[in-house]
Amino acid sequence: MSRVLVTGGGGFLGSHLTERLAREEHDVFVARRRDYDLTRWEDAERLFTDAQPELVFHLAAEVGGIGANRANPGRYWYANLMMGAHVLELSRIHDVRKVVFAGTVCAYPKFTPVPFSEDDLWNGYPEETNAPYGVAKKSILVGAQSYREQYGTNAIYLLPANLYGPRDNFDLESSHVIPALIRKMVEATGEVVLWGDGSPTREFLFVDDCADGLLLAAQQYDGAEPVNLGTGVETSIRELAETIADLTGFDGELVWDTSMPNGQPRRQLDASRAERLFGFRAHTPLREGLSRTIAWYRDDVAAHAV
């Protein structure tokens, strides 16, 4: 049993991870933004004093879809950089046994060869609409590797694919593509307008599979190199939209607004390093995960909004 701190533990991924940790009888300290603003050193310092962790999962982030990234480039760069830097430095000061950082696929260069290999992470600049966020998160990888070299800090860095699942953010102003599509199609009475032309591809990882990967890495991986967490399955946004329409029973028209940006052209991860180093393999097919997410949304969000 370990004393575990989960930053962002009240959020989407964090809530699933903390449930898993509690089931395994770890002593979990959940850090929520309303209690600790990790962009402020004083709050971050107070958190570590309160939590006294042996193991830290840093999942807290300020993030959203293309629209939110375009509206908040400065904030997303600053907030994510400062939160990660504070967690890393305080983990050193408090002699934390291990720190697990959740990075982002947005850190990869815009035209990374598919599938994305961790070795290509520095071979170009990220896609413009989410570059400030991606660069900030990638800077934490540099910090983790530097602290390992100078101080012996056991900090590992994981790169999950696009996450989805129950408890995701369904706010249309800041949500990612899957929750936005689900909400639009559940609520729609006519056409649904979608950004871009539907041609970009993404890789989607069910949140429970990601929680499995985080735990496996915490237990079995102690290396300096970044590691992808994904399914290895590439899906176009058009195919995704058509699948969600089918699963929600939406029979209206899908209208593609090509005046709006597509975002990064392609995303698919090479997940072989995670399987080789700590035995991670995703188990939830996209259609099954979407069905579970839609059912949760209808039961827990849409039903209570009536």
Domains of the chain plus CATH, in order, are 3-305 (3.40.50.720)
Give yes or no for residue 144 having a pLDDT over 90.
yes
Residue 225: pLDDT above 60?
A: yes
* pLDDT class of 214 with cuts at 50, 70, 90: very high
Active site residue 157: no
Closest CA to 265 of 207, 215, 198: 198
Of these residues, 76, 133, 221, 297, which one is catalytic?
Answer: 133
Q: What's the confidence (pLDDT) of residue 65? A: 80
122 has pLDDT over 70: yes
229-267 pLDDT, tens digit each:
999 999 999 999 999 999 999 999 999 999 998 888 889
Looking at every residue in the chain, the average pLDDT score rounds to: 95
pTM of the model: 0.93
pLDDT at res. 305: 62
Question: What is residue 304's predicted lDDT score, i.e. its pLDDT?
Answer: 63
- The predicted pLDDT at position 67 comes to 85
Across the range 89-100, mean pLDDT stands at 98
Return the ∠ at Cα 17 (arms to 11 and 18), rounded to 5°: 80
Instruction: Report residue 167's pLDDT band, with 50, 70 and 90 as the boundaries.
Output: very high
Task: Please give the pLDDT value at position 303.
Answer: 65
Measure the N-to-C terminal CA separation of the chain; round to a whole number of Å. Answer: 43
